[in-house]
Amino acid sequence: TPIQNDLLEYFSLI
Amino acid sequence: MFEARLAQSAILKKVLEAVKDLLTEATFECSDSGIQVQAMDNAHVSLVSLNLRSDGFDKYRCDRNLSMGMNIGTMTKILRCASSEDTVTLRAVDSPDNIIFIFESQNKEKLAEYEMKLINMDLEHLGIPETMYSCVVKMPSQEFARICRDLSQFGEAITIACSKEGIKFSAAGDYGNANVKLAQTADSDKEEEAVLIDMQEPVKLTFACRYLNSFVKATPLCAQVKLSMSSDVPLVCEYQIGEIGHIRYYLAPKIDD
């Protein structure tokens, strides 16, 4: 089963 | 002084309905150029990016940049007190503790004011890199909502596969599986009914139904939705908001363990 990835894996906090 | 007026509250009512499932609180950043909201859901899986341009308002004044933390649930309740045809005005002083919503009926015989306390919030901004997407699909927003709803009955996730031939949505679960294919419309007379695919390379991505079904709450805002996808990056699901702006939802994909 695929697992849910976190948005912070792609975007960084600025 | 901050003051923003819309001739009809309907747009703002629809915007609130489109974000209330995902956000409990959000910071509304107001400047000369307009109102912007960027907020993630609590699980950090999706992000809402709302942009309302100042020139889209009937009246707009923002003397100093303001960041106003608002409770989305309370704001939704207040907007539900307005009739769709009412004029709505948002008003705040320069360093506000409160924001005032003023609803005025078309015949100007009813004037209602609702004051909402603002909340202190840490402003967390995400840097979203400029991305050239492999597939950009424009399709009727009602069709997208329908497909998300229908396929959600079969599983917790929807796989979206886009190629030159069309876009395929599929879901699989314990009870069976389902898929819906949409071909690019050849020559749709009505722009609103068109399915348009701009493909550089095919993509196949899987997303949680739960979030997609929250995004489609924006359907009343626009007849068309734009889906932008590339392998292994978040989906962008965008709805135009009349002549005033847009709402974009970003959703991290599900990945194979």
pLDDT (tens digit, 9 = 90+) per residue, B74-91? 999 999 999 999 999 999
B126, B178 contact by CB (below 8 A): no
Specify the pLDDT at position B187.
74
CB nearest B255 (choices: A3, A12, A13): A3
Average confidence (pLDDT) over B33-51:
96
B5, B101 contact by CB (below 8 A): no
Question: Is B191's pLDDT higher than 90?
Answer: no
Q: A7, B250: Cβ pair inside 8 Å?
A: yes
What DSSP element (H or E) covers B218?
none
Binning pLDDT at 50, 70 and 90, where does residue B230 land? Answer: very high
CA distance B39 to B27: 8
CA distance B99 to B118: 7
Sheet holding B176-183, edge to edge: A3-4, B254-255, B203-208, B157-162, B166-173, B176-183
Q: A3, B234: Cβ pair inside 8 Å?
A: no
Does the CA dihedral B219-B221-B224-B226 come out positive or negative? negative
Q: A5, B252: Cβ pair inside 8 Å?
A: yes
B45, A4 contact by CB (below 8 A): yes
CB nearest A4 (choices: B45, B47, B124): B45
Q: B126, A9: Cβ pair inside 8 Å?
A: no
Question: Is B145's pLDDT higher than 90?
Answer: yes
Determine contact: B48 vs chain A, CB below 8 A: no
Specify the pLDDT at position B123.
77
Of the two residues B116 and B94, the one the predictor is more confident about is B116
Specify the pLDDT at position A2.
87
